[in-house]
Structure 1
Amino acid sequence: MSSPDPDNARTAGATDAATEPAPIKAVPLRRPGRWVAAIVIAILFALFVYGAATNEGYQWGTYLSYLFDVRITEGALVTLELTVLAMVIGVVLGVTLAVMRLSPNPVLRSVSWGYLWIFRGTPVYVQLLFWGLFPSLYKVIELGIPFGGPHFTHWNVQQWQAPFLFAMIGLGLNESAYMAEIVRAGINSVDEGQREASYALGMSWSRTMWRTVLPQAMRVIIPPTGNELISMLKTTSLVTAIPLTIDLYGRAHDISSVNFKPVPLLLVAATWYLVITSVLMVGQYYLERYYSRGASRRLTGRQLRALAATTNLGEVAK
C-alpha cells in the first residue's frame, strides 16, 4: 500500500478551512422606541410629582399631621377586621352555594340560583342600606312554632346597637354570591376523570367534591379570591350606609367635616388603603405560587441550579 501524500493532506485541510463558514455574530436588536417612551413617561411623572408637591391645595402639612393619627390607625384596624370577617363569611357561604349549584338535587340548585340572582342583581350599597334599616323592619325576632304556637325565645332587634355586625353580615352575604361563581368555575376546571375515578373507588358525590375536586380546584380559585379580598377592603368604605363611621373612611370623613380640609384627609385614607392593599397583594402572590406548584413547566432558579449540578456530576462520573 502507498502511504498518503502529506502535501495532498495539507492541501485538503486548507481547502476545508477555506470553505468553513465564519461564525455568526449575534447583534442585539435595537429598539429606540422603548427608550423614547420611557423618557417621555419619566418626564411626565416627574412633572406630575413636582406639580403635586408644590400645589398648596393638597395641604401636605395637614396630610403629615393626620397620617399616623390615633383615630386613623384605629379606623384602619377596624377596616381590616371588617374585611377579614366579611371575607370569611363570603368564602364559607360561597363554597356551600357553589356545591349546591352543582348538586344533582334540583331543590338545592334552585335555592342557590335564587340566592345568586338576588345578591348579584342588586347593588351592594342598596343591600347595606337595607341592613342599616333592619332594626326598623324587624323589631322583634321570635323562634318557635308558627301560626299561634308557643315561642321558645325572642330577640328585640331594636336594642341591638351593632352597626359593625350588620356591616359584616351585609358585606359577607354579598360577597358569597360572587365567591360561589368563582368556586363553581374552579370546580368545573377539574378534569371529569377525577370524579369518575372517585366514583369508581366508592366515594359519594359529596365526599368526591370535598376530598378530590375542591383541593385541585384551588389553583383556579385562589387568584380571583385574592382580587375579591382586595376589592372587599375598598368596598368597606360603603358601610357609611349602615351607618358605620368607625372604619378608615368614616374616621377620615369625620375629621374632615370638623377641620374643613377634605383633600388631605382623603389622601390619608388613600395612603392607608394603598399600604394594606400592597400587603395583601404580597400574600396573594405567595399563596398563588404555592398552589401553582407543578402546573407550569418553567423551572425556577433553584431547580435550574440543581439540574446543572446533577449534569456536571454525571459528566465527572463518566
Structure 2
Amino acid sequence: MSRRSTRNTLQERNENAPEQNKPQRKRKGECNRRVPSAAKKQHYEIQVSEVYTLHRETFYLAQDIFDRFMLTQKDTGKDQLQLIGITSLFIASKIEEIYPPKLQEFAYVTDGACNEEEILAKELVILKALKWELCPETVISWLKLYSQVDSLKDDANFLIPQFSQETYIQITQLLDLCILDINCLDYQYGVLAAAAFCHFTSFEAVHKVSGLTWDSISSCVRWMNPFARAVREWPRPQLKDFKKVTAEGRHNIQTHVDYLAMLSEAHDRQQDSLDRMSPLAVAGILTPPKSTEKPANA
C-alpha cells in the first residue's frame, strides 16, 4: 500500500467516522475541566495499567467506554466513578489483551471499594447503555496510524512499525495528559491525535499523513499548547522494559508519570493565558496615537 493511498483512506475514515467514535460535547453546566475526582480516577487507572502491563489501546478504550457511558447518565455520584472506571478497564482488557487480568485482580486494586459482584453487575449496565458498541477507533489507534504512515516507505510492510518509539511515547504522554481535561471531549479522536502529532512534528507532516486541513485542527492545536509546554518541561519519557514484552513492543505498554502534577501546571498556564486575554488586561494597554496625530507641542 502506497503512502498516498493510505493517506486517502485515513482522510475518508476521519470524514466518515461513525457517531459513536466521536466524543460528544460536554453536558450543559459541566465545568471547563474534569472534576478532580474524575481526573484522579483516570490517573489511577493509568497506574493500574502499568502495573498489569496493559497496552495503551486497552487504557484508551477504557476511557472511551467510560466517557460514552457517562454521557448516557443524568446523575452519577462521585462514589460510583471508581466502580464505573474499573469496570470500563475490565471490559477493555477482555477485548484487547491476550491474557487480561482476572476479575478478582480488578476488585483487589480498588482496595475494597468494589467487589467482584459489583463489577460484573456494572459491566452489564454499561454494555446495555452502549448497545454493545465496543470497537471504536480510539485516540491512540489514530496516533499509531499517523505515525506509521509518516514513516512508511513504499516498499515497506505496513503491519510492521517503522516509526521512532522515542517520539511516539512523547506524543502519547501529551495525549495521556490531555485526556485528563474534560475539554478533550470537544474534539474528535482523529483530530486530537493529529494535534498531538503536530506538536512534535509539523502541520505539513499531519496533512501528509491524514489529509486534514489546518482549519480542522487549529483549534485543538491551540487548546493543547499549555499541555504540550508542560510535557516538554518534564523529563523526557524513557522506554521501559517489561517482562514478556519484546523491545519492539515496549512503546505499546501504557506507562505512568505524575500526570496530576503535570495537569496542574498545564491548567496554571491556561489560566495565565486567559488572564492576559481578559478585558481588564487589554484595557490596561496604552493605544499609540495615529501616525497623523502630532503631539500638541510639535
- What TM-score, normalized to structure 2? 0.28
Name which structure has the greater RCO, CA cutoff 8 Å, separation 6+: 2
State the structure with more CA Rg: 1
Which structure: greater helix fraction?
1
